[in-house]
Amino acid sequence: MIRDYRDTDLEACRDLHVRLTEWHRKIYDSPGIGGDNPGLQFDEHLAKVGKERIWVAESTEGVVGMIGLQPGYGESALEIEPLVVAPGARGKGVGGALVQHVIEVVKDMGLRDLNVHVVGRNAEAIRFYHDIGFDVIGYVELMYDTSPLEKPLWRDGETVAGRRFRV
């Protein structure tokens, strides 16, 4: 069941945010991502966007996923941030149901665009979003890494517009 966020969901959503941070730490091999208490970043996000822009997926086990919307590029767009599903609920359609829910919310608002930013290294998320219809590239953010090469942060990754990029 997808429903509106409730104040009683705070701890469950903090925990989901921690799991999202742990995933980013893993794919970047960087234990410092998110700081010492990444669950509190959910509180900051909640204060920024408001509880009316957050929805949760609930099963008999409790809250198993959440999705939020925040302002996107331009006046006619919103952006998905965050989307996270508990490990035990992945592969069961929870993420897709959450995204479909916010697609309908955005349509009902009469807005034109729903965006999502995915880190280049997160191929699993890129495939997930593409599979459910996010097949338009609106913006590409390129980076120039000026750090020393003793321990490279980036690895060979993806081809876009016929060019190879590190992710």
Would residue 125 count as lying in a domain? yes
Cα(142)–Cα(139) distance, integer angstroms: 10
CATH number of the domain at 11, please: 3.40.630.30
Least reliable range by pLDDT among 20-29, 77-86, 154-163? 154-163
Mean pLDDT of the chain: 92
The model's confidence at residue 14, banded by pLDDT at 50, 70 and 90, is very high
Would residue 74 count as lying in a domain? yes
Would residue 28 count as lying in a domain? yes
pLDDT digits 0-9 by tens, 39-77? 899 999 999 999 999 999 999 999 999 999 998 877 778
Strand partners for 142: none
pLDDT digits 0-9 by tens, 100-127? 999 999 999 999 889 999 988 888 999 9
Torsional sign, CA 133, 77, 81, 50: negative
Q: What percentage of residues in the chain have a pLDDT greater than 90?
A: 69
SS3 18: helix
Q: How many CB atoms lie within 10 A of CB 94?
A: 22
Report the pLDDT value the prediction gives residue 155, as an integer from 0 to 100: 82
- pLDDT higher at 78 or 140: 78
Q: Which domain holds residue 20?
A: 2-133
How much is the pTM? 0.89
Would residue 149 count as lying in a domain? no
Cα(67)–Cα(54) distance, integer angstroms: 6
Total domain count for the chain?
A: 1
Least reliable range by pLDDT among 27-41, 42-56, 83-97, 145-159? 145-159
Sole residue written with tokens 């590190």: 166
Would residue 114 count as lying in a domain? yes
Residue 22 CB-half CA count within 13 A: 11
Would residue 148 count as lying in a domain? no
Would residue 76 count as lying in a domain? yes
Task: Read off the pLDDT of each residue in 123-141 and give the average, rounded to a whole number.
Answer: 92
Would residue 113 count as lying in a domain? yes
Report the pLDDT value the prediction gives residue 161, as an integer from 0 to 100: 84
